[in-house]
Copies of this chain bind each other. A is one copy, B any other.
Amino acid sequence: MSSETDDLRGGLGRNLTYGLLEHLGRQIVTGAFAETPFPTEADLSEEHGVSRSVTREAVKMLTAKGLLTARPRQGTSVQPVANWNLFDADVLRWLLERKFSPELLRQFNELRAAIEPAAAALAAQTADARGLALIEAGFARMVAAEAGDDDGLNADIAFHLAILRASGNPFFAQFRDVVATALRTSIRFTNRIVGRTADLAAHGAVKDAICAGDPARAHAAMTAIIGDVMTVIATEQAHHHA
């Protein structure tokens, strides 16, 4: 086993294929092949010290995620960014790890501003007992976190994901990765949990509106939360520029 393959095993991948997937995925989103053409599968295999099977299977996965395309004789090449599946958890993670970007964080939250209030309104209309229970459990964790008995970030994430799920719409539920990522990144950027006690009250308002079956109030309350986040991001970004 060569040292190159050890690198691949060391990555997030449980095995060589997933290791190579991670490595290539990161390289692609960092623009490593913007100028130079993407290597042939023979070159890739040799460079990373793995068999052609491993290379081909990693390339196929990247193709499935929209990052690559392969044709005989023409070779393999990177697809335009518009074709990348940004809602794929791996792609999202690679984009984020590549470099920290306030721009990307803003775009995340523009999406949240569109999705989460709508999800909250739907939840208020249609959530079942189990859905409501999860929302309340998430909020309870946030209260506990305030007292230092739980991790604030993960409590916050659990709360928002519970609402997405309670919307009863699988398309909304898909945004869990984006939302979780956005929240984690917000923390890294602002280096603190946005808002704190004011934030806790705002979350409580969302919870109450959903439990009361009031879609309009749930929508408004969630809009307020994300509006606060946007404000913090904007001011923080201004500080950076100053």
**Copies of this chain held together in the complex:** 2
* A113 CB-CB contact with B under 8 Å: yes
A76-108 contacts to B, CB under 8 A, are: 81-82, 85-88, 107-108
Q: Is the CB of A82 within 8 A of B170?
A: yes
Whether a CB of chain B sits under 8 angstroms from the CB of A63 is yes
- Inter-chain contact B171/A108, CB cutoff 8 Å: yes
The residue that A85 contacts in the complex, of B87, B113, B114, with Cβ under 8 A, is B87
The answer, yes or no, to whether A184 is at the interface (CB within 8 Å) is no
Q: Which of A64, A87, A118, A178 has the most CB of B within 10 A?
A: A64
> Which residues from B are CB-within-8-Å of A108?
171
Contacts of A113 in B (CB 8 A): 118
User: How many interface residues does A have (CB within 8 Å)?
Assistant: 34
The proximity string for A residues 138-180 relative to B, scoring 1 for CB distances below 8 Å and 0 otherwise, is 0000000000000000000000000000000111111000100
A171 & B53 in contact (Cβ 8 Å cutoff): no
Asked if residues A60 and B17 are in contact (CB atoms below 8 Å), the reply is yes
Q: Distance (Å) between the CB of A58 and the closest chain B CB?
A: 8
Question: B107 near A171 (CB under 8 angstroms)?
Answer: yes
CB-based contact A81/B170 at 8 Å: yes
A107, chain B: closest CB distance, angstroms? 5
Assembly CA distance A81 to B172 (angstroms):
13
- Evaluate contact between A86 and B174: CB separation under 8 angstroms: yes
**22 A–B contact pairs at CB < 8 A?**
A53-B56, A60-B60, A60-B61, A61-B63, A61-B64, A64-B65, A81-B170, A82-B170, A82-B173, A85-B85, A85-B174, A86-B171, A87-B87, A88-B88, A107-B171, A108-B171, A110-B171, A111-B171, A111-B172, A113-B118, A114-B117, A171-B178
Given A60-B61, A113-B118, 20 other A-B residues pairs in contact with their CB atoms under 8 A: A56-B57, A60-B64, A61-B61, A64-B88, A86-B170, A86-B174, A87-B87, A87-B174, A88-B88, A107-B171, A108-B171, A110-B122, A110-B169, A110-B171, A111-B171, A114-B114, A114-B115, A114-B118, A115-B115, A171-B178
